[in-house]
A and B are shown apart, each in its own frame.
Chain A
Amino acid sequence: MRTHGMSRRHLLQATVGAASVLAAPHIARAAAAPLVIYDSLDFVGKAAKAFSAKTGIATNVVEQGGTGGVLGKIAAEGDKPQYDMVWLEGSAVMERMAQAGIFGAHADLAARAAYTKVGRSLVPASAMFLPVTASTTGITVNSKKLTPAQYPKSWSDLANPDYAGAIAAKDPNLSGPAFQWLAGFFQAMGEEKGKALLLQVLTNKALSGLPSGGTVNKALLTGNAKLAITQDSATFGKIAAGEPLVSLYPTEGVVATPSSIGISARTTQADSCHQFVSFVLSPEGQAAMLDGDDSDFFFAPIIEGVKAKPGRTTDINFLVLDNAAAAKNETAWKSWYRENFVP
């Protein structure tokens, strides 16, 4: 009986062993499934590559042309998300997704990061998304079309008749940074006053609701625009390439536009996601994100000890957006902008 019992145990062990062997490829495959990151930023590919090289954890970067494209894909996937992380610019759009329960909270990661003062101020109380870089939206001038004496100094200056019909802007309905600017503009100016000023300033619909930073810069460089309300990282990228542009920061203040990562509440690879976020918040990860010439590489660092690319202004007095107010008013403000400034 004893022998028989042993045989049974051996049989059981053998069965479990065989099952383990059979299951092993599946377990291994599940463990090795690449981290999927949805984003619309130039530097994410570089950061992901450096992370994979360091950790051996594979990553798949699904990069869209703009924030809108990522948002549409996330919305369409609904309760069957295919991403582990989302990395976008604009805290307002991230807040809205956080409120929809898309991201999990990761206060521990935020606490461990070596944020600068500005960086720390951009971490939301919920810790559902973590800022990684910053930029802002200011005024960009084509120096071949305006002399320095003609440059505006404030948002209010844009109402100057000299600029009538010659101001380009991105459509906040399609761009996270553009909505961040609109929400920050209303926060700085007051909603009613801000709306009244924009109605005075953005008088040419052919320029006031452009779909991307690329179209805004084309309007500024070869089109009818003399100046543009646009993201400063894009401007510094163009200046570095030799374009005749100047970046200006209005005296009323400019709102910080962080690029932030949110970890999906439904991810099955939380540990790997944590490793990824820790990496991009480290000087090593930030170095990978500075290794390029496209617009997004010209960010303002918010991690201690990290220097921006040469030529990029960093001494900016950033306003921090009230994400909750921006998220609450997002639909109404976007709709108002579309009705007034988009053909």
Chain B
Amino acid sequence: MTIGGAATSLGVVSLFVVLVFLPLALVMGQAVVPDLMDGHWPHLSLAGLEHSLGNARSITAISHTVVLSAIGAVSATVLGALYALMLARSNVPFRAVLRATPWLIFLTPGYLKALAWVLLMSPGGYLAQFGLLPEGWDTAFFSLNGLIFVHTLNLFPMACFVIGAAMSGLGSEFEDAARTVGGSARQAWVKINLPLLAPAVVLAFLSIFAEIASDFGLAATIARTSNFGLLTYSIATAIENFPVDFQLAGSQALVLLAMLCSVLLLDKALRRQRRVRLITGRSRRPRIYDLGLWRWPVAGFGLLVSLLSVWLPMAAIIARSGARTLGQGLAASNMTWRYLDQALTLGQPANQALLRSLWFAGLTAITCGVLALLLAWRLDQGGKALRQIVLAMAVGAMAIPGVVMGLGYILLWDRVPGFADTGIYGTWKLLVLGYVSHGLPYALVVVLPAVGQISPNLIDAARLHGAGATTRMFRIIVPLIALSLVTAVLLVFARSVFELPISQLLQPTAGAPAPSVIVRLFGNDNDGLGSALSLLAILATGGLAGLLWLAARAAGRAVWGNGFDSLGGMPRSG
């Protein structure tokens, strides 16, 4: 390795150490070093760890979390893969609605969907008021079934994006080659395409597993109402106290991280095939299968997914934002514009919070996009060990509940000399840094596979023609992975607008971001204004994301002509 390469690797690792490792170490370390922050000489003790993990409640919460995360990750990955396949390789109708659905899902955070489903499925909820809730469905919903159902609908887009991006890079040349030597379409998929897509499928599974394990929105709503204790809720109760039970929070966060590491190690042990470079710049348009009459049931399935994952929860939020009270239902006399008016009026606290959040999220998304691109490129060129370390830290960071990360940021930036001296604690700068730490892993998960598929021949050819590093980056790499990059930026933007625990714990003293205000409104029983603010946040985020998407597509077409495929974002040469 050259000195420059070593320095870059050190920079990459340092970035993750500051953003992820140190904050987590300060929280988790207290599981075994209880007086870590007390200013005394630290001593090692496993007593707290034994006490925290040895009781029946902890064991139940751990087992519930494993079961829910595993089942939810499988179901969301399967649904996401099918959905991506439907969009990328079939002639299904209603494509515009179906294609927009995964994006629209990302515009609504999990905790908002959880609230929407509580409003819909409660015994006296909106569906019951319209006679659309069959006997016993509410009981069935407020259980593990309901949690899997909502998590699957909420997270399948992640699998859809990751697997869809891999599918678009795959093209159809391998498939065509198989068919020219007598293989059937089924054989081509089972023996060639699926193994080639396996890394993306596993990455999607891991990301979703991590997402469910670290979720707090559903843990605090549907899971609580279902008498289904989860680790994140247990951690939150340990943290939201005076004094904080660091040993319990740290121990349980350690368990979450151990779960993820186990899955990562298992994946490494099971999958040892070579990495395959799929993007050669010569890939053909993917083969589109003609489904015949089957296209209608397939479209019906897609539309049902869209209805359940986007439109029904959105309808509940719209209804609640226009209803004066919850108990009077959706009677005309109960309708009001008051909450929407408050959320729309400039200078009102709710409106100020929304504008703040859009600004913070925009800054976060651009920062994460740039960092993810540079990191992905560096990791792709770097050694396997560096890639594994950073990927493990990234997925690990996704598995850590935001509440733990937020607590770690307080400890690091308010109390550790050097970091505390920067004076950024209590300002918007630390909030954005917290968002970046939470958003960067997601951006990396989207960008890394795309960069990994670029054939080195393309870069070598450019270098031989005298293209410098900047030219190679902006004229070759960025256009080749344009869609993945835009996806990453939009994903981080949407997540950051609604990122909850970090918003609460790192709330700038000068003013609260929207998520803190939304959850406070819901918590304090002001659902109407909370729903109105959420609705506007969704619309504003959607509007801005749509504009960015159109701009990216226009730029892609300007560079590559109409051959720029709007699903894959890949330039086509012929």
Contact residues of A with B, CB < 8 Å? 34, 36, 40, 42, 45, 60, 62-66, 68-69, 71-80, 82, 93, 96-97, 100, 142, 144, 171, 173-174, 204-207, 209-215, 217-219, 221-224, 234, 237-238, 241-245, 294-296, 334, 338-339, 342-343
Contacts and interface: CB of A to CB of B under 8 A. Distances in A.
Given A142-B327, A221-B124, A82 B509 contact: yes
B242 A222 contact: no
A97 B57 CA distance: 28
Interface in B483-524: 504-505, 507, 509-512, 516, 519-520, 522-524
B151 interface: no
B328 interface: yes
B410 interface: yes
Contacts of B123: 222-224
Nearest to B408: A76
Contacts of B345: none
A136 B460 CA distance: 73
A316 to B, nearest CB: 21
B327 A222 contact: yes
Contact of A80 (B224, B327, B414): B414
Nearest to B522: A214
B244 A76 contact: yes
Contacts of A296: 524
Nearest to B409: A76
Given A72-B505, A204-B227, A242-B324, 15 more contacts: A34-B510, A64-B520, A68-B237, A72-B242, A75-B242, A144-B327, A206-B224, A210-B225, A211-B220, A211-B224, A214-B525, A219-B225, A243-B326, A342-B237, A343-B228
A72 B125 CA distance: 33
A174 B237 contact: yes
Interface residues of B, number: 58
B241 A238 contact: no
B56 to A, nearest CB: 9
Contacts of B410: 73, 76-77
B509 A62 contact: yes
Nearest 8 A/B pairs, CB to CB: A68-B240, A71-B242, A212-B523, A222-B124, A343-B229, A222-B122, A60-B509, A76-B410
B142 interface: yes
Given A45-B349, A213-B525, A238-B325, A66 B240 contact: yes
B420 interface: yes
B426 interface: yes
Contacts of A222: 119, 122-125, 128, 326-327
B226 interface: yes
Contact of B328 (A65, A93, A217, A242): A242
B523 A80 contact: no
Contacts of B511: 60
A252 B334 CA distance: 37
A221 B524 contact: no
Given A241-B324, A242-B324, A242-B325, A69 B240 contact: yes
B240 A206 contact: no
Contacts of A211: 220, 224, 523
Contacts of A342: 229, 237
A82 B505 CA distance: 13
Given A206-B142, A223-B225, A295 B524 contact: yes
A63 B512 contact: yes
B558 to A, nearest CB: 46
Given A82-B414, A214-B527, A222-B122, A68 B241 contact: yes
Given A65-B523, A144-B327, A214-B523, A339 B57 contact: yes
B254 interface: no
Contacts of A218: 118-119, 122, 326, 527
A238 B37 CA distance: 43
Contacts of A142: 327
Contact of A74 (B124, B224, B242, B407): B242
B242 A78 contact: no
Contacts of B520: 40, 63-65
Q: Which one of B221, B242, B410, B505 has the greatest number of beta carbons of chain A within 10 Å?
A: B242
A46 B512 CA distance: 15
Nearest to A49: B349
A317 B325 CA distance: 30
B415 interface: yes
Q: Which one of A60, A73, A173 has the greatest number of beta carbons of chain B within 10 Å?
A: A73
B517 to A, nearest CB: 8
B242 A294 contact: no
B524 A64 contact: no
Interface in B386-430: 407, 410-411, 414-415, 420, 425-426
A64 B414 CA distance: 18
Interface string B509-545: 1111000100110111111000000000000000000
